[in-house]
A = this chain, B = another copy of it.
């Protein structure tokens, strides 16, 4: 009655439980005829090994935990973010008969670290996938890392060469965005750099320079400002850039937060976006499509990234350690209202 145990199968097939275990786990050293007998019994009894028993004995849970920012704090547009992450993870899970446990968390909470530790200690998942922006928060990542659970960070700004991560080809797609802006007729395209500690952000700056070169535009230090990834820094940089004698007609910020800061600064200064100033960001955070004007930005292929992360975890749970390095998945432009033809 759906409750067949390994003993039932062993009895029915006339072998020991160990042999059943071997067959089910595709281990070698089983005679073909024995394997068939066992498989027949498994099918007949509709046997499914009890996950808990398996986990307890083998330290493998066939469980993956997905950690992301609680959409409770947002509105509809962020739902797509969550669903994509889930779908990507699930497709890998289904393929390998793993289960997905979701764990949205509020990074503002004091106890979020404790909470995560509790989940990992209790459920002992085979691995954890940490979505951006949480993947960049020590408060989140550290408890997971110290719990010794294999984990994959998605689009982590900083990468540790000893870990495996999944990210997008920041440099290439930033070059593409820059070329797109140039194609609208802009000649003075500024860039706001992000926190220099984030390696990814450095790549974005390189991409911007590549794009300028590709478009036959001159790079100028006057069109570069140093932000720190915060909205406030975006505002400050925008003010600085726009109060020059030859202000830019477009500003490309290394992340959406800063880009939103630019839009706010422009509004305050009476600069029309996109009429007088085009603005672009990076990440396609939910807010990007909510503000007015909606933000042209770069969108990461979340489902595919999550899927790769899950695959990595699953493949490793059968062997040893996640091989260090970063898997790169291409990102795409999301053209919205904040960019338009150059003025005049």
Closest CB in chain B relative to A70 CB, distance in Å? 8
Q: Kindly state the separation between the CA atoms of A94 and B71 in the bound complex, as whole angstroms.
A: 15
Q: Kindly state the separation between the CA atoms of A100 and B51 in the bound complex, as whole angstroms.
A: 15
Q: List, in ascending order, chain B residues with CB within 8 A of A82's CB.
A: 79, 83
Chain A 87-129, CB within 8 Å of chain B: the 1/0 string? 1001000000101111110000000000001111111100000
Whether B100 contacts A101 by the Cβ 8 Å rule is: yes
Closest CB in chain B relative to A5 CB, distance in Å? 11
**Given the interface contacts A56-B53, A87-B71, does A99 sit within 8 Å of B79 by beta carbon?**
no
Q: Kindly state the separation between the CA atoms of A50 and B122 in the bound complex, as whole angstroms.
A: 5
Q: Kindly state the separation between the CA atoms of A1 and B149 in the bound complex, as whole angstroms.
A: 12
- Does A86 lie at the interface of the complex (its beta carbon under 8 Å from any beta carbon of B)? yes
**Given the interface contacts A80-B76, A83-B71, A117-B2, does A122 sit within 8 Å of B49 by beta carbon?**
yes
Q: List, in ascending order, chain B residues with CB within 8 A of A61's CB.
A: 52
- Does A146 lie at the interface of the complex (its beta carbon under 8 Å from any beta carbon of B)? yes
Size of the A side of the interface (Cβ < 8 Å), in residues, is: 42
Q: Kindly state the separation between the CA atoms of A52 and B99 in the bound complex, as whole angstroms.
A: 14
Whether A2 contacts B71 by the Cβ 8 Å rule is: no
Q: List, in ascending order, chain B residues with CB within 8 A of A147's CB.
A: 2
Whether A48 contacts B118 by the Cβ 8 Å rule is: yes
In the complex, residue of chain B having the shortest beta-carbon distance to the beta carbon of A65: B99
Closest CB in chain B relative to A108 CB, distance in Å? 15
- Does A240 lie at the interface of the complex (its beta carbon under 8 Å from any beta carbon of B)? no
Q: List, in ascending order, chain B residues with CB within 8 A of A118's CB.
A: 48, 97
Whether B51 contacts A123 by the Cβ 8 Å rule is: yes
Whether B2 contacts A121 by the Cβ 8 Å rule is: yes
Q: List, in ascending order, chain B residues with CB within 8 A of A71's CB.
A: 83, 87
Q: List, in ascending order, chain B residues with CB within 8 A of A215's CB.
A: none
Report which of B46, B56, B83 forms a contact with A56, defined as CB distance below 8 A: B56
- Does A72 lie at the interface of the complex (its beta carbon under 8 Å from any beta carbon of B)? yes
Whether B72 contacts A87 by the Cβ 8 Å rule is: yes
**Given the interface contacts A101-B99, A104-B90, does A51 sit within 8 Å of B52 by beta carbon?**
yes
Q: List, in ascending order, chain B residues with CB within 8 A of A103's CB.
A: 99
Chain A 146-173, CB within 8 Å of chain B: the 1/0 string? 1110000000000000000000000000
Interface residues of A in 18-60 (CB under 8 A from B): 46, 48-53, 55-56
User: Most chain-B Cβ atoms within 10 A of its Cβ — which of A48, A100, A119?
Assistant: A48
Q: Which residues of A contact B (CB under 8 A)?
A: 1-2, 46, 48-53, 55-56, 61-62, 71-72, 76, 79-80, 82-83, 86-87, 90, 97, 99-104, 117-124, 146-148, 286
A sample of 7 more A-B contacts (CB under 8 A), given A76-B79, A101-B101, is A1-B146, A46-B121, A48-B118, A50-B122, A51-B123, A52-B61, A71-B83
